[in-house]
Copies of this chain bind each other. A is one copy, B any other.
Amino acid sequence: MKKYRRKITALLLCFLSATALKAQSIQSPDHHLKMDFSLTKGLPAYALQLDGHAIVKPSHMGLAVKGMPALAQDFTVQKVVLDSADNSWKPVWGQTANIRNHYQEMLVCLKQKQTGRLLNIRFRLFNDGLGFRYELPIQSNLRSFTVKKELTEFVMNGDHKTFWIPGDTDSQEYNYNTSKLSEIRGLMQNKVIPTMERPPKDPATVQTALMMKSAAGEYINIHEAALVDYPAMQLRLDASNRDFHVVLADNAEGYKANLQAPCVIPWRTIIVSKKAGDILTSNITLNLNEPCKIKDTSWIKPMKYVGVWWEMITGKSSWAYSDSSNVKIGYTDYRYVKPNGKHGANTANVCKYIDFAAKNGFDAVLVEGWNIGWENWYGGTTDHPFDFLTPYPDFDLPKIEAYAKAQGVKLIMHHETAGSILNYEYHMDQAYQLMKAHGYDAVKSGYVGKITIPGETHYGQRMINHYLYAVKKAADYKIMVNAHEAVRPTGLCRTYPNLIGNESARGTEFEAFGGLSVDHTTILPFTRLIGGPMDFTPGIFENYLSAYNKNNPGRIHSTLARQLALYVTMYSPLQMAADLPETYQKYADAFQFIKEVAVDWQDTKVLEAEPGDFITIARAAKGRADWFIGSTNDENPRTSKINFDFLPKGKKYVAEIYADTRKSDFESNPMAYQIYKKIITAKSSLKIHCGAGGGYAIHVKPLK
């Protein structure tokens, strides 16, 4: 696409001292969206319409700052600058090989009359939504300052159907609730809060990305982009049950953010469309992030991996080497500690996974539980729960390195911090150096438990800064990061594409810790995945966890076929085949799909989508002529009807279909599946039955 950028002459308003501004508007490039900015009695507000229908009604804006008048009132407009852009860029990895960045922009420069302080608000209106942010320009009487509260509102135009999780500032690992806006407060109080460890101050507080659907059929998603040096945004409904107010995670002082002008606040985004699929393919979040800051990205590679992990999750084996609690990092020589006999990360077992990875074409093997500390790591008071440098005595680091190298398999290191970021930062350079010295190019980091800096939570400014610090330092070492329990992503992977994954939602592991809702994977792409990929760890074939550990009553809330679909519907450049090698050997025909599915994409098409109900997505593999299709649905069996008009015309393909049987049901018959083939062209269409909690996967191969 031709690079195109046009700047409309800055419009200097005649009434610079006016505190009332007749609405100033911009339209999206396709004219469907319209954003109005107004200043009434000094109060700034914005509103958003889709085809003349209000999506966001006039909503106030601003920041409350400690020790000075709120930057939300008493404003005059200094100037309004209009601009636009239409260009495209290529992500290092992604759902499409090219991303178009096409918007109209309005920059409103405000001055507070009484104080002379300056606040700019920048709006970018795309065809699929709006982004806006506050910018504090450099100025004499606003230097270091403390944000007490953000005053941004999102006034909804109806009692929308909403897919939400509660406003915890330490975790997003919840099942989604589906309700009307007006039902959130009651559900929180009666159902959700009793189960929470850290309930929000106001019960009607929910997390973003927040997905809604209006009675008129508009799909609306509120989130943020480029969360840097600022707490994560949550939303609180006021008594009207229509008006969302921004809530930010507290820091230890009870404030929100310490900033210094010049600075920008993260973008607030409202993605909106009459088609649910447009929410899934929106690139607003990425487009509002800075371009890639890593010069050489040749070392950043999407990958599929297996790992010593699910066997611990199910309780078949253990992270810890011993069952003794009388051990201490820096004191105990673990060679003389009695092993418990079920330590997963032992050399022989890791080599078994390496063999399996090599034989089946996986890029890498993750090993958790390799380093000392697992006997006492959780719930302790120490700031130093883990050693990132010392393997357990049965984990032979050089031998495993050599074994993996000989088989052409990479290793993924694991760093569990247990919330002690000081401990992690202390050892980070050495830990990354150890990784590089032993051939590890990627790290899975973890932030389980309370943050050990008192008063700080996972989503406060200090932790936000830590996560990005770890990613940037990892980039210095050419290490890819997959951070679990960190803040949910906001598109920063554009700027730092070595951030190849996050968990930051309720993942497959929860099938062993209480279960996932059956509709979970029909919601996550509309919520959690708006900000970036998730290491969901799909591919669990053995539905009954008791098969691995007789004491584990856990079940997978999905059919086996749907487990395959998730490799396509849950976009990620990092995909795990999470089940055990012996299980994959048992179901080798179904496993074939996981072996073949791509992890990087040329193009993406949403074939069917309704949040909470079903999602069907087709993706073209990058550098291959193959397409892959995945479909997931909720507890209601359905018939998916798709056509293949996205394929090049006139070519023939084989569709290898991995589907539920007529009897498949996530509860009663989860492991029944069928595999069959069809010859198809761009003119073909298919009807495929999906069982309750089911779905299907298709590998579309050119016919040779």
Binding site for B on A (CB under 8 A): 138-140, 143-146, 251-253, 258-263, 325-326, 328, 331, 376, 380-383, 422, 425-426, 429, 453-455, 462, 465, 469
Q: Report the minimum CB–CB distance from A452 to chain B (whole Å).
A: 8
Bound CA–CA A262/B325 (angstroms): 11
**What chain B residues lie within 8 Å of A326 (beta carbons)?**
138-140, 143
**What chain B residues lie within 8 Å of A262 (beta carbons)?**
328, 331
Q: Is the CB of B328 within 8 A of A252?
A: no
Q: Is the CB of B252 within 8 A of A453?
A: yes
Task: State which of B252, B258, B328, B429 has its C-beta within 8 Å of the C-beta of A455.
Answer: B252
**What chain B residues lie within 8 Å of A380 (beta carbons)?**
143-144, 260
**What chain B residues lie within 8 Å of A260 (beta carbons)?**
328, 376, 380-382
Total copies of the chain: 2
Bound CA–CA A143/B465 (angstroms): 32
**What chain B residues lie within 8 Å of A331 (beta carbons)?**
138, 262
Q: Report the minimum CB–CB distance from A275 to chain B (whole Å).
A: 41
Bound CA–CA A504/B235 (angstroms): 47
Q: Is the CB of B382 within 8 A of A144?
A: yes
Bound CA–CA A320/B585 (angstroms): 68
Nearest first, the 7 A-B pairs at minimum CB distance are A144-B380, A252-B454, A258-B381, A253-B454, A144-B381, A429-B429, A138-B326
Q: Is the CB of B383 within 8 A of A325?
A: no
**What chain B residues lie within 8 Å of A252 (beta carbons)?**
252, 453-455
13 extra interface residue pairs, beta carbon distance < 8 Å, beyond A138-B326, A143-B380: A140-B326, A143-B376, A144-B381, A144-B382, A146-B381, A251-B454, A252-B252, A253-B454, A258-B383, A260-B328, A263-B328, A422-B425, A454-B454
Q: For A138, A258, A381, which residue has the most chain B Cβ atoms within 10 angstroms?
A: A381
Q: Closest residue of chain B to A137, judged by CB?
A: B326
**Sample of 20 A–B contacts (CB below 8 Å):** A138-B326, A138-B328, A139-B326, A140-B326, A143-B326, A143-B380, A146-B381, A252-B453, A252-B454, A260-B376, A260-B380, A261-B328, A262-B331, A263-B328, A383-B465, A422-B462, A425-B426, A426-B469, A429-B429, A454-B455
Q: Report the minimum CB–CB distance from A305 to chain B (whole Å).
A: 29
Contact A144 to B455, CB < 8 A, known contacts A262-B328, A426-B425, A462-B422: no
Contact A381 to B462, CB < 8 A, known contacts A252-B454, A262-B328, A453-B453: no
